[in-house]
C-alpha cells in the first residue's frame, strides 16, 4: 500500500541510500592483466575446470577491468547513490605480501573511484570478497593465524591509498561463505574440506583480522576521512517448519550457528561466540574423542578486541528456510552440519529462482531485521546484497517482483524501527556466479558474454529500480514506457 490513511505517501526516508553491488572476481576479468597475481579462484578453476557447472571461469567475465567507464555509465543510468565493489587483493599485491606492489592494479581502482566521484556516486569498498592471493593460500590461507597480519597489512595499504576518497569500507564479504564453504564443505575456493575443524579456525581468524583492521581504521583513519567501516554478514531468515518444540529449538540454535556465530562476537554487549554454539560443539567434540572443543576459544583480550568492532552491520540477505530437527543425525561426524543438526526446507508457495537455494520470501527480511533489533539492540545496518537469479533474457518479471516485495518488506521494517540506511541490489550486471559459472544470472543489466565488448543491456528490473530510486516509493503499478535508458 502506497499511502497511510491520512494520505501521506510511504517513502524511504531522506538520506536513505540506494546502490548496487558487485565483486572483483565475478566481474573484472583481466585475471592476469598488467601484473595481476593469481588468486585461489584462478588456480582452482584453471586446474579443475570441472569445479564449475558450465565449464566457464572468471578469466574474462564481464571484463570490467576494461569496461569500468561503461559500468559507471550504467550506475548513472540507474541513478544510484553508491556502488559497492571489491578490490582484488592479488591485483594490487600479486603475492599477497605488500613488499611487491602492482601499480597498474592500484591505478585501475583509482580510475574507477575517480570516475564514480566525478558523478557523485559514493564508492563502497569490500576489501575481501573471496579471492585470496594463491601464495597466501599455499601457506594455509585463513586457517593460518598469520593471515590476520597479512590482511592487516593489505588493509593498511588500501586505507592509505584510498582512505581520503572512500567513506564506506567493508572488511570481509560473508565470513560464513569464506569459512563454511571454503574450508568445510569445500564448495568454494580453496575447496578445502577439513570438516568440523577448519571452518571454526577460519571464523576465529577472520573475526580477529576484521577487528584489527577496525582498530587501525578507528585509531588512524576515521576522523581524518570521516569514514565508517563494517563487515558483510549473511543474515538469511530461519523459521521453524511448524511449532513442534524440537523444531522451534532447532531453529533458535541454527540462528545462532549461522547468524550469531558472526554477529554475536561483534554486535552483542558481552561479545564472544554464542553460548549455545560453544556448548553444542564442546559436547560433540568430547563425544568424538577430542580433548578440547573444535571451536577455538576466544580469550578475553580477543573478545574485547572483536566486540564493538564495526560502525555498521553490512547485511547480505537473500532468502528464508524452514528448519526442523531430523530424527537421526546422519551428517558426517565431525562437521558443521553435524554440530548444527537441522533439516532445511521451503514453503511450496515461495517462488524458486534459478539458484536452487534461492526462494522469494520477503517477510523473512522484515523478521530478520526485527530479530537483529531485539537481540543486538538496534544495530546500524546497510543491506549490502539482496537479489534474484534467472535465465538470460530482458523481461525479468520475477526479479522485478522480488525486488519490489523485498523493498516493501524493508520499508515496513524501517517504519517499525530498523536502523537501515542503505540498500544494494545484487547485482549491477550478470557475472561469474562462482561454481554455477554463467548459468545463474543476477544482473539488473544483462551481459552478452559472447560479445568481445561484453555488451550490457538493461533488463526490465533496471528500469523499475531506477524509478524506485528516483521516487523513493515502491509503486507496483509502475511500467517502464520505453526500454531506452537516459542518464539521471
Contact footprint for ligand PNW (CB under 6 A)? 23, 26, 173-174, 177, 234, 236, 316, 318-319, 357, 385, 426, 433, 442
Q: Least CB distance from residue 389 to ligand PNW, whole Å?
A: 7
Local structure of residue 437 (DSSP, 8 states): T
Enumerate residues 6+ apart whose C-beta is below 8 A from 463: 480, 483, 485
**Peptide bond preceding 334: is omega within 30 degrees of 0, i.e. cis?**
yes
Q: Which residue is nearest to ligand PNW (CB)?
A: 357
Looking at beta carbons only, is 356 or 393 nearer to ligand PNW?
Answer: 356
Q: Each residue of 100-139: b (16+ CB within 10 Å) or e?
A: eebeebbebbeebbebbeeeebbbbbbbbbbbbbbbbbee
End-to-end CA distance of the chain: 27
- Checking phi first, is residue 47 left (phi over 0); if not, alpha (psi -120 to 50) or beta? alpha
Q: Least CB distance from residue 171 to ligand PNW, whole Å?
A: 14
Q: Least CB distance from residue 436 to ligand PNW, whole Å?
A: 8
Sheet (strand 320-324) strand order: 237-240, 320-324, 343-345
Q: Least CB distance from residue 177 to ligand PNW, whole Å?
A: 6
Take residue 383 and report the three cell numbers written for it.
543491506
Looking at beta carbons only, is 265 or 387 nearer to ligand PNW?
Answer: 387
Q: Least CB distance from residue 100 to ligand PNW, whole Å?
A: 27
Helix (H, G, I), strand (E, B) or coil at 224: helix
Enumerate residues 6+ apart whose C-beta is below 8 A from 419: 373, 378, 379, 380, 381
Looking at beta carbons only, is 169 or 442 nearer to ligand PNW?
Answer: 442
Q: Least CB distance from residue 397 to ligand PNW, whole Å?
A: 20
Looking at beta carbons only, is 56 or 174 nearer to ligand PNW?
Answer: 174
Helix (H, G, I), strand (E, B) or coil at 445: strand
Looking at beta carbons only, is 234 or 259 nearer to ligand PNW?
Answer: 234
Q: Least CB distance from residue 130 to ligand PNW, whole Å?
A: 7
Other Cβ atoms closer than 10 A to 316 = 21
Q: Which helix (H) or strand (E) holds 197?
A: none
Q: Least CB distance from residue 258 to ligand PNW, whole Å?
A: 9
Q: Least CB distance from residue 158 to ligand PNW, whole Å?
A: 19
Looking at beta carbons only, is 64 or 319 nearer to ligand PNW?
Answer: 319
Looking at beta carbons only, is 357 or 378 nearer to ligand PNW?
Answer: 357
**Peptide bond preceding 75: is omega within 30 degrees of 0, i.e. cis?**
no
Beta strands in 141-212 (DSSP E): 168-173
For cell 544470472, name the residue.
441
Looking at beta carbons only, is 131 or 272 nearer to ligand PNW?
Answer: 131
Q: How far is CA 245 from CA 116, 323, 344, in A?
A: 52, 12, 16
Looking at beta carbons only, is 31 or 106 nearer to ligand PNW?
Answer: 31
Amino acid at each position: 500500500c502506497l499511502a497511510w490513511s491520512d494520505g501521506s505517501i510511504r517513502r524511504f526516508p531522506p538520506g536513505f541510500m540506494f546502490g548496487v553491488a558487485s565483486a572483483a572476481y565475478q566481474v573484472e576479468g583481466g585475471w592476469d592483466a598488467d601484473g595481476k597475481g593469481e588468486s585461489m579462484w584462478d588456480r582452482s578453476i584453471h586446474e579443475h575446470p570441472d569445479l564449475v557447472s558450465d565449464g566457464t571461469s572468471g578469466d574474462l567475465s564481464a571484463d570490467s577491468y576494461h569496461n569500468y567507464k561503461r559500468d559507471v555509465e550504467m550506475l548513472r543510468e540507474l541513478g544510484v547513490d553508491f556502488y559497492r565493489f571489491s578490490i582484488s587483493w592479488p591485483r594490487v599485491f600479486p603475492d599477497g605480501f605488500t613488499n611487491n606492489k602492482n601499480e597498474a592494479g592500484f591505478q585501475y581502482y583509482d580510475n574507477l573511484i575517480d570516475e564514480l566521484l566525478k558523478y557523485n556516486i559514493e564508492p563502497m569498498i569490500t576489501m575481501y570478497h573471496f579471492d585470496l592471493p594463491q601464495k597466501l593460500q599455499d601457506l594455509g590461507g585463513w586457517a593460518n593465524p598469520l593471515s590476520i597480519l597479512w590482511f592487516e597489512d593489505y588493509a593498511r595499504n588500501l586505507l592509505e591509498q584510498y582512505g581520503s576518497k572512500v567513506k564506506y569500507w567493508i572488511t570481509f564479504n560473508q565470513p560464513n561463505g569464506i569459512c563454511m564453504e571454503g574450508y568445510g564443505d569445500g564448495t568454494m575456493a580453496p575447496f578445502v574440506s577439513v570438516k568440523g575443524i577448519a571452518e571454526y579456525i577460519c571464523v576465529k581468524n577472520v573475526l580477529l583480522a576484521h577487528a584489527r583492521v577496525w582498530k587501525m581504521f578507528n585509531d588512524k583513519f576515521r576522523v581524518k576521512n570521516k569514514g565508517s567501516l563494517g563487515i558483510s554478514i549473511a543474515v538469511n531468515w530461519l523459521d521453524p517448519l511448524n511449532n513442534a518444540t524440537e523444531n522451534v529449538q532447532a531453529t533458535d540454535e541454527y540462528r545462532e550457528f549461522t547468524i550469531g556465530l558472526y554477529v554475536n562476537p561483534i554486535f552483542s554487549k558481552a561479545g564472544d561466540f554464542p553460548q549455545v554454539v560453544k556448548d553444542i560443539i564442546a559436547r560433540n567434540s568430547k563425544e568424538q574423542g577430542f580433548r578440547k572443543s573444535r571451536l577455538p576459544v576466544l580469550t578475553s583480550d580477543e573478545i574485547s578486541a572483536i566486540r564493538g568492532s564495526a560502525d555498521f552491520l553490512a547485511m547480505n540477505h537473500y532468502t528464508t528456510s524452514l528448519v526442523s530437527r531430523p530424527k537421526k543425525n546422519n551428517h558426517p561426524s565431525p562437521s558443521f552440519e553435524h554440530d548444527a543438526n537441522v533439516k532445511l526446507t521451503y514453503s511450496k508457495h515461495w517462488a524458486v529462482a534459478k539458484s536452487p537455494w534461492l526462494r522469494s520470501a520477503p517477510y523473512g527480511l522484515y523478521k530478520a531485521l526485527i530479530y537483529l533489533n531485539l537481540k543486538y539492540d538496534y544495530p546500524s545496518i546497510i543491506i549490502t546484497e539482496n537479489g534474484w537469479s534467472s535465465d538470460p533474457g530482458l523481461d525479468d518479471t520475477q526479479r522485478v517482483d522480488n525486488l519490489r516485495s523485498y523493498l516493501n518488506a524493508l520499508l515496513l521494517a524501517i517504519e517499525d524501527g530498523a536502523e537501515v540506511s542503505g540498500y544494494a541490489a545484487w547485482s549491477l550486471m550478470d557475472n561469474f556466479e562462482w561454481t554455477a559459472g554463467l548459468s545463474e544470472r543476477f544482473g539488473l543489466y544483462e551481459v552478452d558474454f559472447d560479445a568481445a565488448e561484453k555488451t550490457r543491456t538493461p533488463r526490465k528490473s533496471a528500469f523499475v529500480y531506477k524509478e524506485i530510486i528516483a521516487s523513493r516509493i515502491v509503486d507496483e503499478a509502475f511500467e517502464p514506457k520505453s526500454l531506452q535508458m537516459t542518464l539521471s
